[in-house]
Amino acid sequence: MSDRLSALRQAVERILPEVEGLVALKQGPAGILAPHLYQPSQATELELLALWPKYPVPDTIKMLQKAHPGAKLAVVCRGCEERGLVEMAKHAQIDLANVQLIGLQCTAEEATFCRCAKPFTVHATVTVGEKIEGAADPLTEAFLAKSQEERLAFWKEQFLHCIKCYGCRNICPQCFCNVCALEDGTWVETGRLPMPLPPMYHLVRAMHMTAKCVACRECEETCPAGIPMAIQFRLMARDVQEMFGYETGAVIEQKPPQLLVLEEGEYAKTGLPH
Amino acid sequence: MEYRNVLTTCPYCGTGCNLHLQVLDGKLAGVLPAKGHVIADGGLCIKGWNAHAFVHDPDRLKTPLIRKNGELVEATWDEALALVSELMGQVKTQHGADSIGILASAKCTNEENYVLQKFARAVIGTNNVDHCARL
């Protein structure tokens, strides 16, 4: 067992008796992991506690809280998952007060794999592993070096690969609308491949991720066509930061811009067209 | 309170993508892809993403149906299999084994399809075996 895994296990063993259930990854058949609810009565299952690859655990918490409101839970979360939980709480999807966060700081290899700018938790009071600096994002840098025309050509080409599996929407912990605009025939014609307007699906989803995307990159990872869609989310997060001073997951008390009513004059400050 | 994932193979085609079925309090609650799996590696198509949907669907058939006096009536597997075997036996006796054909399915495993062609050739005695993926 690696030092990191044994440190995580110690932290989990300490917290498990204090809660009704703890969500963390579990080793499964053929070395394939999945999220799991560890329970105090079955602590021996912790033998199978695992670290990587990561899974969207904020969704698991949401599912559990919906079925068991008020249950005292704990979760092992990475930086992106902590951000996901915070944003879900702001949109009334989960109750953060009933979730004990165990922060798992990512390694340099993991951060490089995810092109992650913030591979660490900031709210969790219990943390495991050393906090490291963010990794570079060579894909976004390469994209920024392109001209406007090249960028348009890049996305048109990328979106043509889409097989319309809806996986990016399904796996996204921040996609939680009861009625999904992407199932509206106006944007995405059902029952036809290739879709009539390949970019529309992705651009509609991108707009809906404004000030919501927490850069977990689960969408990219699950995409069977390998579309590097996190590039657009990263750049939109940059714009939201510049225009509204908002960063997902950073400040629990700060409301996201789409939940705010702009005061007079504030709209002009965004630099958006009238 | 229970939440666990069961690793399984997608039932929709012969590719063999693995996926996790999410189990919440004893009921299927959704699908998660299986990262690191040799075929799908964390990806799924739209069918795989919805592979759990039919399980608790009220329209799902849970028993065989036998048409009696023009109406489909629920039956046991023993009844249904006995009827099929009787009628197929009659057809074979009256018209010969080659009057029967067998269609296999891409939703089945290789092993199940193997057993089906074996049934066609060794039990019924015909080479009339085909497969929906060839249609």
pLDDT in tens, B67-80: 999 999 999 999 99
Q: How far apart are CA A71 and CA A100, in angstroms?
A: 11
Per-residue CA distances from A226 to A130, A175, A222 (Å): 31, 20, 8
User: Among A30, A39, A165, whose Cβ lies nearest the Cβ of B46?
Assistant: A165
Cis ω before A53 (30° cut-off from 0): yes
- CA triple A105-A110-A115, angle to 5 deg: 105
Q: Which is nearest to A233 in space by CA: A203, A256, A198?
A: A203
Mean pLDDT of B59-74: 94
**The tokens of B71 are what?**
């109406």
At residue A197 the predicted structure's pLDDT band, cuts being 50, 70 and 90, is low
Q: Which residues of B touch A32 (CB under 8 A)?
A: 7, 18, 34-37
Mean pLDDT of A196-218: 85
Q: Which amino acid is at A48?
A: L
Parallel, antiparallel or unpaired: strands A73-77 and A49-50: unpaired
User: How much is the pLDDT for A269?
Assistant: 72
Helices (H), chain A: 3-15, 57-67, 79-90, 108-114, 138-144, 148-160, 167-171, 198-208, 218-222, 230-244, 266-269
User: How much is the pLDDT for B64?
Assistant: 96
Radius of gyration of chain B (CA): 19
Mean pLDDT of A68-80: 96
What letter does residue A33 receive in the DSSP assignment? E
At residue B118, does pLDDT exceed 70?
yes
At residue A79 the predicted structure's pLDDT band, cuts being 50, 70 and 90, is very high
Q: Which residues of A touch B42 (CB under 8 A)?
A: 53, 221-222
CA distance B58 to chain A (A): 21
Q: What backbone torsions phi and psi does residue A24 show, to the nearest 5 degrees?
A: -155, 175
Mean pLDDT of chain A: 90
Mean pLDDT of A219-233: 95
Mean pLDDT of B42-54: 93
Mean pLDDT of A236-245: 92
Q: Which is nearest to B101 in space by CA: B126, B80, B132?
A: B126
Q: How far apart are CA A189 and CA A195, in angstroms?
A: 7
B132 by DSSP, 3-state: which? helix
The fraction of chain B above a pLDDT of 90, given in percent, is 78
First to last CA, chain B: 47
The chain B residues in contact with chain A (CB within 8 A) are: 1-5, 7, 18, 20, 22, 24-25, 29-37, 40, 42-46, 48-49
Complex prediction ipTM: 0.88
Q: How far apart are CA A222 and CA A250, in angstroms?
A: 26
Four-point Cα dihedral A116, A110, A55, B37, nearest 10: 130
Would you mind telling me the total number of residues written for chain B in this entry? 135
Q: Which is nearest to A226 in space by CA: A170, A270, A161?
A: A161
Cis ω before B33 (30° cut-off from 0): no
User: How much is the pLDDT for A198?
Assistant: 65
Per-residue CA distances from A119 to A14, A100, A110 (Å): 24, 19, 8
Mean pLDDT of chain B: 92
Parallel, antiparallel or unpaired: strands B129-131 and B102-104: parallel
At residue A179, does pLDDT exceed 90?
no
Q: A154, A143 in Cβ contact below 8 A? A: yes
Q: How far apart are CA A57 and CA A67, in angstroms?
A: 16
At residue A184 the predicted structure's pLDDT band, cuts being 50, 70 and 90, is confident
Mean pLDDT of A75-82: 97
CA distance B4 to chain A (A): 5
At residue A137, does pLDDT exceed 60?
yes
Q: What is the 3-state secondary structure (H, E, C) of B5-63?
A: EEEEECCCCCCCCEEEEEEECCEEEEEEECCCCCCCCCCCCHHHHCCCCCCCCCCCCCC
Q: Starting at the edge strand that comes first in sequence, how are the strands of the sheet with B3-9 ordered? A: B3-9, B18-24, B27-33
Per-residue CA distances from A88 to A22, A60, A273, B60 (Å): 18, 12, 30, 34
Query: What are the boundaries of each domain within chain A?
Result: 3-128, 138-269
At residue B31, does pLDDT exceed 60?
yes
Q: pLDDT per residue over A138-148, tens digit each?
A: 999 999 999 99
- Contact at CB, A32 and B7, closer than 8 angstroms: yes
Rounded to an integer, what is the distance from CA B81 to the centroid of its chain? 16
Per-residue CA distances from A231 to A46, A51, A197, A237 (Å): 36, 26, 20, 10
At residue A194, does pLDDT exceed 60?
no
Q: Which amino acid is at A265?
A: G
Q: How far apart are CA A140 and CA A133, in angstroms?
A: 18
- Contact at CB, A222 and B34, closer than 8 angstroms: no
